[in-house]
A and B are shown apart, each in its own frame.
Chain A
């Protein structure tokens, strides 16, 4: 029983970080209807930046989000202006292909800059754990999840209590209605993309502590985010959080009760199973384009 509780706790902790990771993609999709396949690579980029800050300057990886988040925000903004905006009128397939190409470019760039060995940031608490009533919770996971929840909360506050956030949500609901009230859709798209990339940068900082990573790791993360989409739908942040939690639990249970190596297959298996049973995704939102007239 303790094993089960421990696994569940672990899965939820991981799920928190996954939720932060997926939130950026969901946000971007909501406003711009773009699936950013480079999302995983951006995560790893955040991880590498954090690693360098830790390795060279001794900055705690989780604290490093104060630096990586704004840096990734700026990068995201730049990316939007140079790559995404030119494709505004193009069919969705174009952005899928473009971001796929970009993902590989990022992977290559990271390999050239940082090399292809596996890295991991190891702050002091790296291999320590909390013991809570017989359940062992690694400190890194707990801190990471706490920070993830914090960042998600900040994101939530941004989206619900600031004008910019409301503009983003309005544009995602109804682009024409939003421009009628004076929202600058182009500006909002750029902002949304930048925010999306910034959150994934923050998630990257956490990943640098939690998992060993190398440039090629982004594929497993693409699979994770796609599986979260399939589980939770593309429409809402809430869906992303639920999907993330489910994925986290599924991975940890598989790892505990089956084997660690099969655990890497979990995101893919979930994708297959869910799509087989329910082609429109579990929460039914927007995986299947509902019929237009």
Chain B
């Protein structure tokens, strides 16, 4: 019996029906009932829902928390208020302007705070909310200060009551949901998800992180600004404390967290729960402190007890019961590989041309001179090895070349261009790809989504393109076949084994169609069969003109696969040459075995 119920609950169509019914009820309600009280409740819920749906874009998808969303409500309301009273015209005409104002402000905040990761963004969003409030209080020539702006009463027929407000907000909610849905299925969405999961990694696969974050934040603001304008007109009184209310910010956040971050309908569900609570607080407990207590407390409790939110937790519960044996798929022997099905381009013979040149690189960490005066060159068309003992600086060099770290001094030139000042995504666009020593893929996405995520260039048009669609999907699937992971396209990446992740990461990098691929310990932690497969893959790609620079400890692999081999020791490149030369080079032997070390007196006694 329970099985049957669960099965029914899992059917998508059931939920679609529920949503459709809800939408119909929402739209028809004012037509059927005169009750202003409930209409008011719904209007406020709509405001929350719009705010939450927007916040979900930057917080749910992107992982960046904004504590000050009500700043946009206030900004929108004041735009409408000031516009209608000081310039003239119907307030509704000013509503789109409110949206623009909110969007611009969000872009401004984004430019300030989103160039870096970390806490700056949270700090800025709180600061923005309060500073706007202070400006509203103090700039009274514009805003009337604490006296507020009173809007003229609506001029439409009284029998229509609140319909204009109501339906405008319904429309805005619809637009907001549409935007959220659209973002999620375009490259902006996958970019934001990638940023949320692993921002540094996202940068290395061509995602221009500041731009994406700012877009996400603007998306969270624009409809909320418009809704704020409507809300202000609805109240017909716009003042600093009512419009820049921190509690509304909390309610919006709570709606997202409670309903479920990252889902489309979670924020709406959350808003539908929050508003009745709001009413309860106002009616029974006299508002004020009880509102704070309820909503602050609920936020804390939700984080502690139901951090994922209702919809994701509900899904997990349902899926946990019914999923059988899919996990067993993972970890099975690797599937067969296919050849690259690109039309083989005429492969130029190794030209002897230098593709990557590193000159005098320096990098110090506290007390450790990791890379010192490091210089070497990688010739186009080669599979070049980079070896060296522990602490010789290999991974740091990779980080400096790839762009996840900035050098203290020195230059990196790729394809005849200096790249050492470029952020990681520009290096990706230039044709540089890299894998990580500890494999990094995006656990929250499927394998296919992972491989489709990388971008070869930046274009506004491309952002709008579907995330998993058409040509790219074909290319990505082809790459998955090439590495032998085609069976796992729909698998959540989190469930893969270590070796499988390596293959997926490789496919990701190949998606960039890079000229040079930096492989960081490709053979680390995997079995010999997989090592052989990776070697095969590298050879095939090299035959088609791709250059490789491989850091490895596995000597047989390096000596069999790479030519030339560069040797790093103590942060500098001390030797380079063919594998057999390297093996006989006394400097290299010294580096690995240790320079000939003589003690003055022997230690201890045998």
Contacts and interface: CB of A to CB of B under 8 A. Distances in A.
A binds B: yes
B130 A108 contact: no
Contact of A104 (B120, B126, B250): B250
A288 interface: yes
Q: Looking at A104, A108, A281, which has the most chain B CB atoms within 10 Å of its CB?
A: A104
A111 B399 contact: no
Interface string A238-250: 0000000000000
A105 B296 contact: yes
Interface stretch (B109-117, B414-422, B568-576): B109-117
Given A272-B112, A288-B116, A108 B126 contact: no
Given A101-B298, A265-B131, A287 B119 contact: yes
Interface string A101-132: 11111011101100010000000000000000
Interface in B28-48: none
B122 A96 contact: yes
A262 B116 CA distance: 29
A100 B288 CA distance: 17
A86 B570 CA distance: 43
B292 A108 contact: yes
A157 to B, nearest CB: 27
B293 A109 contact: yes
Interface in B64-81: 65, 67
Interface in A72-115: 83, 86-87, 90, 93-94, 96-98, 100-105, 107-109, 111-112
A184 to B, nearest CB: 24
Contact of A226 (B63, B118, B123, B247): B123
B10 interface: no
B289 A105 contact: no
Contacts of A215: 289
Interface in A216-273: 219-220, 222-223, 226-227, 229-230, 234, 261-262, 264-265, 267-269, 271-272
B30 to A, nearest CB: 33
A263 to B, nearest CB: 10
B500 to A, nearest CB: 21
A105 B293 contact: yes
B127 interface: yes
Nearest to B396: A293
B134 A268 contact: yes
B304 A102 contact: no
Q: Looking at B67, B112, B292, which has the most chain A CB atoms within 10 Å of its CB?
A: B292
B296 A108 contact: yes
Given A223-B126, A279-B116, A272 B307 contact: no
A130 B332 CA distance: 81
Contacts of B118: 286-289
A98 B130 contact: no
A101 B300 contact: yes
A125 B109 CA distance: 44
A116 B292 CA distance: 13
A97 B299 contact: yes
Given A111-B289, A265-B134, A100 B395 contact: no
Given A96-B122, A268-B130, A293-B436, A105 B253 contact: no
A87 B304 contact: yes
A180 interface: no
B130 A223 contact: yes
Contacts of B304: 83, 86-87, 98
B113 A87 contact: no
B532 to A, nearest CB: 27
Contacts of A223: 126-127, 130
Contact of B290 (A108, A281, A288): A108
Contacts of B119: 35, 229, 234, 287
Contacts of A287: 116, 118-120
B113 A279 contact: yes
A228 to B, nearest CB: 11
A102 B120 contact: no
A230 B124 CA distance: 10
A275 interface: yes
A226 B131 CA distance: 13
Nearest to A259: B138
A108 B286 CA distance: 12
A163 interface: no
Interface of A: 35, 37, 83, 86-87, 90, 93-94, 96-98, 100-105, 107-109, 111-112, 116, 215, 219-220, 222-223, 226-227, 229-230, 234, 261-262, 264-265, 267-269, 271-272, 275-276, 279-281, 286-289, 291-293
Interface of B: 63, 65, 67, 112-113, 115-120, 122-124, 126-128, 130-131, 134-135, 137-138, 200, 246-247, 250, 253, 257, 288-293, 295-301, 303-304, 307, 395, 399, 404-405, 436-438
10 contacts: A35-B119, A86-B304, A97-B65, A105-B297, A105-B300, A107-B292, A262-B138, A264-B134, A272-B124, A287-B119
The 8 residue pairs across chains A and B that have the minimum distance between CB atoms: A104-B296, A101-B299, A101-B300, A108-B293, A108-B292, A111-B289, A288-B116, A268-B131
